[in-house]
Amino acid sequence: MNIKDLDGKVPRELIESLTSRGIYELTPPQKLSVEYGITSGGNFVVAAPTASGKTLIAEMAMLKTVLWDRKKAVYIAPMRALVREKYNDFKKDYPYLKVAMSIGDLDSLDRWLEDYDIILASTEKLDSLIRHGLNWLSEIGCIVVDEVHMLDEEGRGPTLEILVSKLRRLCPGAQILALSATVGNAKEMAEWLSAQLIESDYRPVLLERGIEINGKAVYDTGREEDLDSKSSIPEVRVAEDTINKGKQIIVFYGTKRNAESGAEKLGAAIAKKLTEEDREYLKALSEKVLGVLSRPTIQCERLAKVILKGTAFHHSGLVNEQRELVEDAFKSNRIKAIASTTTLGLGINMPAQTVLVRDITRYGEGYGSTYIGINEVTQLFGRAGRPKYDKQGRAFLIARSKGDAQDLYNRYILSDLEPVKSKLGIRPVLRTHVLAFVATKFLTSEEAILDFMGGTFYGYQYSDNRQLKVMLEGILEELEDWGFIEKRASIYNATRIGHRVSELYIDPLTAKWMLDSMPKITDDISILFMICNTVEMRPYVRATEEAEEHYFSYQSMVDSSIARYDASESMYYDPVRPFSTALMLNDWASEKIEREIMKDYRTTPGALFAKVTNADWLLYAGMELAKISRINSLKLLEMRIRIKYGIKKELMDLVRLEQVGRVRARMMFNGGIRKAHDIKRPEAQDAMRTMFGKEVANKIIAQVAGNRSYEEKLDGK
């Protein structure tokens, strides 16, 4: 179907945008969506492979809603990176529409969103906005739920499922468009949403799936191919063959450590194939990667080194800026191969001509080593093949023997896709959402909550709700015992503190533990142990010898406390591990350099800064709870500032200045500049120009010596 045939069926602005992007023909799933009446209303589930054109189907529905129906369109995705990517695309493709993105502060209503036509939000953020009482739900005409197959994921799935179920009730007239990878029960998901199913196996680029064994590729099409490589290392063989064809490759590993060593192995083979232009670009990129942190860690140096060879590793241990630098260099074909964990397996558009899934087992705490699922391998395979660049993509598994090859072929290539299963029946997840139901007055009785749960995907899949009823009764009793809800007759109402706990988007168990712990706080470590011994700070770092030695001094915080109430339900609870995490944050707030922290706690920069971000949020939540409970929160405030900047208390005044972080503040302090007002001294200004250069020093000095007082600047007046 030519896009000209869309005239009268979709807004003309969409046709103009497609033409400007060089799109003239619809893909089969796009054609089906038009024939099924995607712009006539009604719910739809679109299940199709990566790059089959699902986003354009969403554009049809969203632009029809905004331009013809004069209502808002909301796009939801479970990953922030995907929200950012789609936001950038919409801003570029429809500059005349008011497009907004909301993925940040979970304790903010973001009233400014009222004025926007298209709102892109992460799952948690939109759920948080509803908890805070957003007032434009009735204006929503279209809701796009991307990556809906992630209902199957324990971490993100339950909140996504609750949110979709809420929106179905709160926005009864809105069209719901759920976009999914190909899964084993797309029809069941469509039935749950009372939606039409658009299912397709169309891919714009042919994908050959196969097994690599002893230098030979055996494909599902029956074709065999000798790889152009003499290496004894399987992933290097596949990578060399890919690079020799002038293409790029992503190799997926099961752990961060494997990805890093894999990048080094790939780099040894790829470096000799780089052009002089490549080398110059990669040298500059390597220096940028090293400069992301104030002091490069061993991991930073390792990444910078492999980048020089045309490869990189990509995992959650990298800080965001490093990941983005790697992604951009891969998109521009400067980095030829990426060794990645599953961080590149979902969401953002990072395809390559070849994909190799090297590790097919994964270790899970409490589960041991298990095979990864068919759906996950299929999703990773789907990253192979780039429209406009490749006529076909290739995706491989590695076999050590013929028997191994047959087993892999049967397990992952011949087998049917797995059905998506709801993960909502987990007590900690339900506890958080049940409190939100009551706090927002969305549902205020046990019967109403049970009825709502019957409308979730969980309720659709498991019609017998007896187990759920028992769990719900226990949760309501807990929340009442903890003082977060009150019952009158059969109606529940949230208490003041229960309402605030729901708004803060923390587990009620976390809130109860922190409220119980605040009176026991004696020092910095006890504050940090209070926030680390929570669900939100998992996974914890390993238990160190120092933590084992010092934990007994703080054990009284845990003994007979709520912390033992629900330790994890899925894994063994060892309080020394969150205590060790607290010691790591204490080292950070004591200005220990990142390199030493990485070594002592066997962690990564990305993991450390994720913990710092979570700690900042939990300290803020603690302060809010303390206010309501009339507990002095000054110590929490001081610790929040110290954790944010990674500083000792003596630097708190200096870091309030723009351009001043932990490193510059320490240099200033050691140079005799102890407080911001010390900068007014001429000799201090001269010293700063020597330390930082004139440009940076003058920016800092201007904040103190300007027309407005330093205090006014810091207060934002």
Distance in angstroms (rounded) separating the CA atoms of residues 619 and 632: 13
Of the candidate ranges 150-154, 249-253, 480-484, the one whose mean pLDDT is the lowest: 150-154
Confidence band of 716 (pLDDT split at 50, 70, 90): very low
Confidence band of 572 (pLDDT split at 50, 70, 90): low
Rounded to an integer, the average pLDDT of 16-20 is: 94
Distance in angstroms (rounded) separating the CA atoms of residues 39 and 29: 14
Rounded to an integer, the average pLDDT of 515-523 is: 93
Distant-in-sequence contacts of 215-222, Cβ < 8 A, 24+ apart: 217/241, 217/394, 217/396, 218/405, 219/394, 220/409, 220/413
Q: Which domains does the chain have, with CATH numbers?
A: 3-199 (3.40.50.300), 206-413 (3.40.50.300), 427-503 (1.10.10.10), 506-646 (1.10.3380.20), 651-715 (1.10.150.20)
pLDDT at 568 over 90: no
Nearest in space to 15 (alpha carbons), one of 85, 93, 96: 93
pLDDT of residue 307: 97
DSSP 3-state of 245? coil
Q: pLDDT: is 423 or 572 the higher one?
A: 423
pLDDT, one tens digit per residue, over 154-206 is 888 999 999 999 999 999 999 999 999 989 999 999 999 999 999 999 998 99
Is the distance from CB of 534 to CB of 618 less than 8 angstroms? yes
- CA distances (Å), 698 to each of 667, 668, 685, 695, in order? 16, 14, 8, 5
Q: Which two tokens stand for residue 277?
A: 């232009």
pLDDT of residue 464: 80
- CA distances (Å), 267 to each of 11, 261, 308, in order? 49, 10, 8
Rounded to an integer, the average pLDDT of 212-228 is: 94
Confidence band of 567 (pLDDT split at 50, 70, 90): very low
Confidence band of 570 (pLDDT split at 50, 70, 90): very low
pLDDT of residue 364: 67
Q: Which two tokens stand for residue 23?
A: 């799109």
Rounded to an integer, the average pLDDT of 432-451 is: 96
pLDDT of residue 694: 93
Q: What residues are paired with 364 via a beta bridge?
A: 368
Confidence band of 296 (pLDDT split at 50, 70, 90): confident
Q: Which two tokens stand for residue 213?
A: 């064994």
pLDDT of residue 401: 92
pLDDT of residue 707: 41
Helices (H), 36-156: 54-63, 80-93, 123-131
Is the distance from CB of 382 to CB of 207 less than 8 angstroms? yes
pLDDT of residue 89: 93
